[in-house]
Amino acid sequence: MKHIIILILGMLSLSFGISGCRNTNKHVQQVQNVGHPIPRATRITIDKLLEVLRNVQAGRTEFNFTGICSNGTDCIYFMQENGKFYIDYEAMSKEQLPYLDSLKQFSKEYGFPVVETTYNNTPVDYDHFQYVPVLSIKANVGADSIVKIGKLIEQSIFRNNDQTIYEIVP
């Protein structure tokens, strides 16, 4: 019985460990070879984002926000507050840090207020910040407009295109 509990806890830990923005298919492939398939995150192209955000607005999701991520550095989160959306970018790894300045410049060019904050998460691979910095682009617009802003960010900052496949996070 003790071994079964340990096996179940191990599988749950593995399941949680490979989910999220920095997920690569390497772990999923390894686990599937063992015979235990792990559910994959929903994958979309940017043209399906509006539908996802409408589900967030309608309360048909677990959280009042959602995010998109294709490669681990381009993860942006669509946060909802009072029916309006804004975008958060959390620099978990050192390769994400330069994008904070790019996003600040983007926000300045388009006239969006920016708030620098944190969710109190610990950085993955740098230690000059106690907590991971988060840049919050306070667009405070409807779903249609935030999709356009998100698409512009993904294309102009992260060099993605209309065919880029994103995983929905969380």
Q: CA 8, 13, 18, 19 torsion: positive or negative? A: positive
Question: Which amino acid is residue 131, in one-letter code?
Answer: Y
CB atoms within 10 A of CB 80: 19
Total residues found in the chain within this entry: 170
pTM: 0.76
The DSSP bridge partners found for residue 159 are none
Give per-residue pLDDT as tens, 45-99: 999 999 999 999 999 988 999 999 999 999 999 999 998 999 999 999 999 999 9
| Average pLDDT score, the chain | 82
CA angle centred on 127, ends 76 and 133, rounded to 5°: 30
